Amino acid sequence: MKVTALLTLLFLLTSCGGGSRASNTTIALDPDKIHIKIVKSTGSYSVDGPALEGVVVQLDYDGENRISDKDGIVTFSVNDFLEHDIHVFGQNGYNWRSIYNAKRGVLNKFQLSHRDDVTKPTTASYLSFKLNIPNIAANSSYEFYFYDTENKQRYKENDFIQHIRSGNNIDVDFSIDMPVGKSITGELIVMEYQQDANEKILIDSAIMPKNTYLTKNFQDTTFNSQTIDLLKLNKLAQTTAMTFNSIKVPTGLASVNLRLYRASSTNDLRLKLAPTLFVTDQIQTAERTISAYSSFDYEYVSYHISGIIKLPLTKNNANILWQKSGFSARYSVINFIPKITVFPDFQENQPGDTLSWNFADNNLTRQQLTIQEVQTTSGQKISWWGILLSPNATMVRLPKIPAGITPLLTVNTEYSVTINGIADLPNGYESFDITGLKWVR
């Protein structure tokens, strides 16, 4: 699940990909050619890895195929006005990528991930803290996060481990996606909540200075000791964060969750960890002003609302995750109305190499279908094929594989299919992820 979510995020937050992306730049190139550059993914949206030489790239279903040069470059001349698709066949552990209706005259860049780079380590590791809160409150609850500042990854305290609370001391554990004995640099974040009517309100928070720690085995009793200065700050009066007019979500969603985050700039809001200001499971149908205490001043508020639809048993318990994120200036008033109102209906067990689905939403900016191996063990290596489609596509025909290429998909084997869509908003995005679908080639 975590691998799929990561691949989805890396792909959708860029124009045509991310961890394995194809993105269109504005470089002025020959308008009668499709220009392609292939590089190794670094896991960053904006930083390319080394160029990949010797990758086979095919034009259309069974058209001309060429090999990337030392700079990872491939070009195809197209002297017609037809739509063309591009297929990049990574070998030796690299994923495959396809893009339908490829653009001409610009650089279509593909970042290819290696399956070893997106596989969870076979050995879990942990960060353990013994925290001292001088003025701990008996009627308060606490949430703990560790933010990896180098990899921009946020870890929440392990849900399956109840933190140990004794007097002013709390023992907290984080499960980290790296082997035991590795160093990790980041910040420890603590948030204190109190219940107010039907809402859980943030009343104080603290971010500890950035530090470097070593990951440990869970049985290791060594803790990183920290004293946290909570409840010593002068509380700000409870002030308005944002006002929502008639919060609405797509029909059928359950477990809807709205969160607001303090933000100080309009850049990279979702990647910057900021204290949660407000959490609710209630959908408001009338104007709602959300307020919160905060030890920090802030200029902008970023919001994130999400919900899940569980599909029928005939869909093998597949889920639809809908989410919407954006930002606005503090004190602003927002009309919260979903842009995506219809989700694809994918029929499982379709025969052959053509996959189709019913879809009638014309508000998408881009859409992707991902086919990957079904993961059965924690350390299993995952191969996957990401296919970028036009926003309103309802089918895809997989290409004929060139001679000499080892097929990524095996006949009569079950694979996991994910359908993702995103709609760009002026100050954010709205998206869906349909996961858990099964397909047998």
Asked if residue 249 is part of any domain, the answer here is yes
Select, from the ranges 56-70, 215-229, 320-334, the one with the highest average predicted confidence (pLDDT). Answer: 56-70
What is the SS3 assignment for the chain? CHHHHHHHHHHHCCCCCCCCCEEECCCCCCCCEEEEEEEEECCCCCCEEEECCCCEEEECCCCCEEECCCCCEEEEECCCCCCCCEEEECCCCECEEEECCCCCCCEEEEEECEHHHHCCCCCCEEEEEEEECCCCCCCCEEEEEEEECCCCEEEECCCCCCCEEECCEEEEEEEECCCCCCEEEEEEEEEEEEEECCEEEEEEEEECCCEEEECECCCCCCCEEEECCCCCCCCCCCEEEEEEECCCCCCCCEEEEEEEEEECCCCCHHHCCCCEEEEECCCCCCCEEEEECCCCCCCEEEEEEEEEEECCHHHCCCEEEEEEEEEEECCCEEECCCCCCCCCEECCCCCCCEEEEECCCCCCCEEEEEEEECCCCCCCCCCEEEEEECCCCCEEECCCCCCCCCCCCCCCCEEEEEEEEEEEECCEEEEEEEEEEEEEC
- Burial label, 391 (beta-carbon count in 10 A; 0-12, 13-18, 19+): middle
pLDDT at residue 1 tops 70: no
Asked if residue 233 is part of any domain, the answer here is no
Split at pLDDT 50, 70, 90, the class of 200 is low
Closest CA to 274 of 291, 294, 256: 294
Give the mean pLDDT of 16-39.
65
Asked if residue 232 is part of any domain, the answer here is no
Give the mean pLDDT of 365-374.
89
- Please state, rounded to an integer, the average pLDDT across all residues of the chain: 76
What range does the domain containing 163 cover? 125-227
Asked if residue 103 is part of any domain, the answer here is yes
Q: Are residues 331 and 348 in the same domain?
A: no
- 61-75, 117-131, 282-296, 352-366: which has the minimum mean pLDDT? 282-296
In this prediction, residue 384 carries a pLDDT of: 87
Asked if residue 297 is part of any domain, the answer here is yes
Q: How far from the centroid of its chain's Cα atoms is residue 68's Cα?
A: 29
Q: How far apart are the first and last CA of the chain?
A: 21
In this prediction, residue 19 carries a pLDDT of: 35
Q: Are residues 151 and 205 in the same domain?
A: yes
Q: Are residues 310 and 249 in the same domain?
A: yes
Q: Are residues 97 and 129 in the same domain?
A: no
Split at pLDDT 50, 70, 90, the class of 43 is low
Q: Are residues 172 and 270 in the same domain?
A: no
Whole-angstrom distance, CA of residue 351 vs CA of residue 371: 15
In this prediction, residue 234 carries a pLDDT of: 39
- 151-160, 263-272, 335-344, 393-402: which has the minimum mean pLDDT? 263-272
Q: Which residue has the higher pLDDT, 404 or 178?
A: 404
Whole-angstrom distance, CA of residue 144 vs CA of residue 195: 17
Which of 288, 317, 335 is the C-terminal boundary of a domain? 335
In this prediction the pTM is 0.71
Q: Which residue has the higher pLDDT, 247 or 334?
A: 334
Whole-angstrom distance, CA of residue 74 vs CA of residue 34: 8
At 354, list the tokens: 């053509």
CATH assignment at residue 135:
2.60.40
Q: pLDDT above 90 covers what percent of the chain?
A: 23
Q: Are residues 142 and 212 in the same domain?
A: yes
Closest CA to 104 of 5, 163, 34: 34
In this prediction, residue 142 carries a pLDDT of: 81
Length of the chain as a residue count: 441
In this prediction, residue 270 carries a pLDDT of: 33
Split at pLDDT 50, 70, 90, the class of 233 is very low
Q: Are residues 389 and 293 in the same domain?
A: no
Which of 227, 261, 278 is the C-terminal boundary of a domain? 227
Asked if residue 311 is part of any domain, the answer here is yes
Q: Which residues pair with 373 in a beta bridge?
A: 415
Give the mean pLDDT of 419-432.
92
Split at pLDDT 50, 70, 90, the class of 374 is confident
Domain tally, the chain: 3
Asked if residue 193 is part of any domain, the answer here is yes
pLDDT tens string 115-167 = 777 544 445 688 888 888 777 777 777 888 888 888 777 787 764 455 677 77
Q: Are residues 320 and 369 in the same domain?
A: no
Q: Are residues 7 and 114 in the same domain?
A: yes
Closest CA to 154 of 163, 162, 143, 165: 143
Q: Are residues 210 and 137 in the same domain?
A: yes
In this prediction, residue 194 carries a pLDDT of: 72
Q: Are residues 153 and 244 in the same domain?
A: no
In this prediction, residue 163 carries a pLDDT of: 67
Asked if residue 234 is part of any domain, the answer here is no
Q: Which residues of 351-385 are buried (b: 16+ CB within 10 A; e: fewer)?
A: eeeebebebebeebbbbbbbbbbebeeeeeebbbb
In this prediction, residue 240 carries a pLDDT of: 62
Q: Are residues 80 and 185 in the same domain?
A: no
CA distances to 202, 215, 415 from 66, rounded to whole Å, are: 57, 45, 28
Residues 6 or more apart in contact with residue 142 via CB below 8 angstroms: 133, 163, 170, 190, 191, 192, 193
Which of 189, 207, 227 is the C-terminal boundary of a domain? 227
pLDDT at residue 272 tops 50: no
